Structure 1
């Protein structure tokens, strides 16, 4: 999802730690929470449309380590932290910028020291300064080089996970698959063994995994060829339940839409013996969205052989009254959506 204040989640409107070995048939519905439950923390990627790289503390800011205690107390164990590739690596194929790396490391080291896991999220849509990977200005080799350097920085921390990029778009699916494979190979060449999450093209929507009308060859026909030599990767898909699947609207289509938009992708995972993380989901604070979100999470738990977990969109320190933010209110009260998530965060008593 883009980190803009006035739109939600992914723009699909244009339409973790286990190996990916799965059974041929649906598993018995899970009675325990899925392995990964958490939230996407957004704000360190903001300010991309201002004079870049912007001013830290004004145009963008990292969440504090202390703020993760709230989510941990609810039963969450995975924090997805968004940041910008260009800030971390100002020159393609160049060194990582020390000050920006220190900001990212401070959050990662402090949060993982609390016992949480952190999923790194270059929130770039598979582009560098708005030029997409695979074009002459941003060759696939540059994307692989970035991930080699980042993996070297964090490979010693077993509580770190590597999310290749947020929501690839505006590129051939074949190009994205090649770039994803190059990044995986570069990560593994460093000796890093952590979980890697791999998005699909076209904003990586679960409901658009099979679409061929607008983003190119369907992910369903291409992304299955991406492989991890350690068999320690999962696909990362995003799913919202409003009329266009963007997450930009507070209303959801129906109480049943949560499970409906996931079922076909679930079947694809089982057929291909792969696993996935629902890297973004969300809904406005109303009864229909409550049922849609609960239905989606029930679907994940009922198919725990292929689903490893989920992340709510979004949290972070500067969202204000954004309708999908789970940050507690200024007086310390939970947002309504936190109540919806409670049964999926902790074991039943």
Structure 2
């Protein structure tokens, strides 16, 4: 074996810089073709990214619009993880400026802030998914998740939101976050919900009406529809799918360890059959919410989805305490869950990092020759582009340059 110094130095130079060029996601918009989302060039696209929480609750609580920064640097940080889609939860009352939300966080102010953020996301080469996350009937106030969208305000909400983003082809719509405590007929057609102390009985609005409302604005983008039981159950989705004149509906499923469908057998029985006929996106996936905040199931789900070309969006790009936050601060430090998501997305985007890690392991085990072969293989296959690599990879490459460059040159 002969490892040339030029090859070694080229590999190190190619990967040791923290910020390199990024292959941006397609900016031509997406549409449904069979069971895939494809871009205008006919290339299949998996939505792989994160949720951004905060815009559903900060406004209604009267202290802001975003939780954390919403500037260009925060968007660039997502791209560095190879994120190509960001799901943004919206508040019905804040968007419409109703039910006593403070003026500085509602109506035009809220709409402009959300519009600017969505524009920043899509300009960065990512898809933005706008989601009706919190809603409420009458004057109850959209202070939490409700079982279903409400007839009082949700139609007005979607008419306005769809009009706002109809001309941005890189925006997708998520009709309602997590339906629960209703059946499939109510999910599609609406019903009278018994309500509670703050509402009394109230009229829900079904997915059929929401789809029609969005399409009536002229918006043609794909619409995500989550199933029942907090979007964890999609078993009745195909039998109750609304009519869409554009045929651009996507099934969304949310998966956490505490959900009923949280194991590979259930995913194979309930999700895989649907994914054979329509696009399926895991709109939320995350770890346990209680200590020790295990993300084992979430990692299993991502690997399962990878084998079936399904997209998924990690919950959540926030810094609050608990296992489901991806960040510990907004300078980029990650939680355990965040590190796993970042690593996973990076390896999907840059397959040769797997080879580099194998080389690092070989070196650590003392197999210098095997390490050299693997690093050489990585160098020869370096046709992809990266925005950044982890410290372990950089350290391994630097170590290889310092030690192997001199020990292996001339070794035939």
Please, what TM-score do these two structures have when normalized by structure 1?
0.71
**Residue of 13, 17, 21 corresponding to 2:34:** 21
Any gaps of 5 or more consecutive residues in structure 2? 1-28, 37-42, 100-105, 190-205, 353-412
Given the alignment of the two structures, is residue 64 of structure 1 paired with residue 65 of structure 2, yes or no? no
Where do residues 94-243 of structure 1 align in structure 2 (5 Å cutoff)? 97-124=107-134, 129=141, 138-139=150-151, 142-178=153-189, 179-205=206-232, 208-210=233-235, 219-220=236-237, 222-223=239-240, 225-241=241-257
1:293: Cα distance to partner?
Answer: 2.6
8 Å CA contact retained: 2:227, 2:253: yes
**Residues 1:279 and 1:127: Cα distance change in structure 2 (over 3 Å):** farther
Which is greater in Rg? 2
- The CA RMSD over aligned residues, in Å, is 3.4
Task: Give the match for residue 85 of structure 1.
Answer: 92
Given the alignment of the two structures, is residue 280 of structure 1 paired with residue 284 of structure 2, yes or no? yes
Task: Give the match for residue 266 of structure 1.
Answer: 271
Q: Deviations over 1:37-80 (max 9, x none)?
A: 111111111258xxxx44243x8647413212212111011111
Task: Give the match for residue 307 of structure 2.
Answer: 302
Please, what TM-score do these two structures have when normalized by structure 2?
0.61
Any gaps of 5 or more consecutive residues in structure 1? 1-15, 24-31, 211-218, 247-252
Structure 2 residue matching 1:310: 3-state secondary structure:
strand
8 Å CA contact retained: 1:22, 1:270: yes
8 Å CA contact retained: 1:117, 1:161: yes
Query: What is the aligned length?
Result: 286
Structure 2 residue matching 1:315: 3-state secondary structure:
coil
Q: Deviations over 1:251-276 (max 9, x none)?
A: xx9xxx543342122233146x2121
Structure 2 residue matching 1:278: 3-state secondary structure:
strand
1:291: Cα distance to partner?
Answer: 4.1
Structure scoring higher RCO (CA < 8 A, sep ≥ 6) equals: 1
8 Å CA contact retained: 2:287, 2:296: no
